[in-house]
Amino acid sequence: MKRMRRALDNGLTLLVMERPHLPVVSATLLLPAGTAAEPEEKPGVGFFASQLLPLGTRRRSATTLAEDVDGLGAALSTSCDFDFATVEISGLAADARVLLDILGEVALEPAFLPEEVERKRSQILGMLERRKDDYVDVVRNRFIRMIYGRHPYGRVKEGTSESVAAIAGDDIVRFYENAYGPAGSILAIVGDIREDDAARWVDERFGGWTRPGADPPLPVTIPPPAAGVTTVQQEVTQAYIRMGNIGITRDDPDHDAIVLTNYILGGSGFGSRLMKNLREERGLTYGVYSSFLPRKEPGYFFASTQTGIDTMNEAITEMLAEIRRFVDGGVTDDELSWAKKYFTGSMPLTLETNDQLAQKLLEQEFYGLPDEFWLRELERMQQVTREEVLAAARRKIHPEQFAIVILGDFREHRLDVPGIGTGDVIR
């Protein structure tokens, strides 16, 4: 596959991969404008700004823009994650130039009209209300607040009802002017497009882009471990459980060992230790998983499940016991060997679509990983030993320091797990 990387004078990095097998193209612009770039007193402003981008530019109203995008059979979306924001468009290759123009217009020339700000505010407030009924989400939000405290990774990306109500139009414009700029941004284009066409069109549309604002704030430091239990009372049929601790950065030298570690512990679905114990042997749950979320700054490790409230204590006890066993005893040669085989065999499945390839290119550039890191990581993974897995697990998983959050109906059931206390009850 033909690939190109080029840095524009204004700091924008352009990545192009030619894949002419299907007449479609996708372009994703990644900007260092995520939740972590928000001023501390304006939680949710990053998400708010990203959601307003498709709602009108200096050239087109929200309605005209929607008509034009839909009329091309294209898809335009924006997102805000902790480390970055994205603007993404995909459509038919014959429209490639128009698609890139729309992407540029949406990212570089948003109008932020007051009526659109109010319309979007009402929608975000409604969504925040609705999400109070998504109990997995409620537990996740409590959990990240416990482990990250005031650090931006502890925020709800969408903000809170109070913070969103208080965000003024000027706050959004200021955030946009400070955070949305070419320096540190990456544009990845994958599909049926010629490299030189892509480069020329991007030069024309993005070459004159500058950032008018000031630098975003420096993030606060991540606090020390916040071991403890939080319980949330809710009339539901299940208990929603999440436990874990601060994890790794994406460029952590242990990354490859950690990927194998997590796969065996709780990342491989039916074959994982957690699933074998809680689902296969005990029938306690439909699913139990663990995961490391690596980020620019240390992300986190967690294990989570849902079970009937009457089996809550057994499920928590078994999860903790299984994780402790893992950290004490490590993995067998057999487990390590099939985990390695899994990653070797499944590699082609992770490189199938234009979107998957665009994600890989962006990940490489954003986190400063070596070229074609996915191949190199696979090679390195084959060298990882049992001892290295055990050492990585001990360095990065600390059951004795876990933050634990449980949401459930505690009116007739009591949390009773030796060694973790009864928690601070929130109603």
Q: Which residues in this chain contact other proteins in the complex, by CB under 8 A?
A: 21-24, 54, 62-63, 66-67, 69-74, 90-92, 119, 122-123, 125-127, 129-130, 132-135, 233-238, 268-271, 279-286, 306-308, 338-339, 341-349, 351-354, 427
CB of 332 to other proteins, least distance (A): 13
- 103 and 34 Cβ atoms separated by less than 8 Å: no
- 152 and 81 Cβ atoms separated by less than 8 Å: no
Residue placing its CB nearer to other proteins in the complex, 46 or 54: 54
Residue placing its CB nearer to other proteins in the complex, 74 or 147: 74
CB of 144 to other proteins, least distance (A): 20
Helix (H, G, I), strand (E, B) or coil at 92: strand
CB of 261 to other proteins, least distance (A): 15
**CA 391 to each of CA 254, 331, 342, 396, 403: distance values in angstroms, whole numbers, following the listed order:** 9, 11, 22, 9, 22
Residue placing its CB nearer to other proteins in the complex, 72 or 226: 72
The string of DSSP letters for 28-68 reads: EEEES-SGGGS-TT-TTHHHHHHHHTTS-BSSS-HHHHHHH
Retrieve residue 274's tokens: 């957690």
Residue placing its CB nearer to other proteins in the complex, 248 or 339: 339
Residue placing its CB nearer to other proteins in the complex, 10 or 353: 353
Strand order in the sheet with 403-408: 288-293, 300-308, 238-246, 403-408, 228-233, 424-426
Q: Is 153 left (phi over 0), alpha (psi -120 to 50) or beta?
A: alpha
CB of 319 to other proteins, least distance (A): 15
CB of 413 to other proteins, least distance (A): 14
Across 336-364, b (16+ Cβ under 10 Å) vs e yields beebbebbeeeeeeeeeebeebbbbbbbb
CB of 251 to other proteins, least distance (A): 25
CA 172 to chain centre: 22
Strand partners, 393: none
- 207 and 7 Cβ atoms separated by less than 8 Å: no
- 413 and 220 Cβ atoms separated by less than 8 Å: no
Residue placing its CB nearer to other proteins in the complex, 53 or 147: 53
Residue placing its CB nearer to other proteins in the complex, 165 or 220: 165
CB of 41 to other proteins, least distance (A): 24
Strand partners, 231: 406, 425
Residue placing its CB nearer to other proteins in the complex, 366 or 410: 410
CB of 238 to other proteins, least distance (A): 5
Q: Give the contacts of 63 (CB within 8 A, at least 6 positions apart).
A: none
CB of 401 to other proteins, least distance (A): 29
- HEC string of 338-372? HHHHHHHHHHHHHHCCHHHHHHHHHHHHHCCCCCC
Residue placing its CB nearer to other proteins in the complex, 270 or 333: 270
